[in-house]
Amino acid sequence: SAVISQKPSRDICQRGTSLTIQCQVDSQVTMMFWYRQQPGQSLTLIATANQGSEATYESGFVIDKFPISRPNLTFSTLTVSNMSPEDSSIYLCSVEGGANTGELFFGEGSRLTVL
């Protein structure tokens, strides 16, 4: 199993500003995943972050809007840049369980409200 801590747990932001979300895992992992959960909707994968390489972004998400850092095997950050009200969502950090289980472990999420 993996324990994931995210900060901040929630924030209220002004339009046009940027916010960085931190994700800390209690064990070393190769890949970390960032998801967005818009109000009342399902999870959408934003990008996959590998240590030592550029993040891989899903269709509809770009690095300029959602820059990601992955400085080591236990930590990652996601920045939401130049925010608009449409960016109001829960942002979730996730890692996969070991031994090809396919199981994902999630942090509690960061709830962002953009005014």
Partner 1 sequence: GNSVTQMEGPVTLSEEAFLTINCTYTATGYPSLFWYVQYPGEGLQLLLKATKADDKGSNKGFEATYRKETTSFHLEKGSVQVSDSAVYFCALKTGGFKTIFGAGTRLFVKA
109 part of the interface to partner 1, by CB under 8 A: yes
CB 9 within 8 A of CB 22: no
104 part of the interface to partner 1, by CB under 8 A: yes
Taking the complex as a whole, the smallest distance from the CB of residue 72 to partner 1 amounts, in Å, to: 20
3-state secondary structure (DSSP) of residue 65: coil
Q: What distance in Å separates the CA atoms of residue 31 and residue 28, rounded to the nearest whole number?
A: 9
The pair of structure tokens assigned to 15 is 């339009």
The pair of structure tokens assigned to 87 is 């960016």
Q: Is 68 buried (19+), middle (13-18) or exposed (0-12) by CB count in 10 A?
A: buried
When the beta carbons of 66 and 109 are compared against partner 1, the nearer one is: 109
Q: Which of 11, 26, 54, 103 binds partner 1 (CB under 8 A)?
A: 103
Site string for partner 1, 11-50 (x = CB under 8 A): --------------------x-x-------xxx-x--x--
Q: Which residue has the tokens 């972050």?
A: 49
Interface residues with partner 1 (CB under 8 A)? 4, 31, 33, 41-43, 45, 48, 58, 92, 96, 102-109
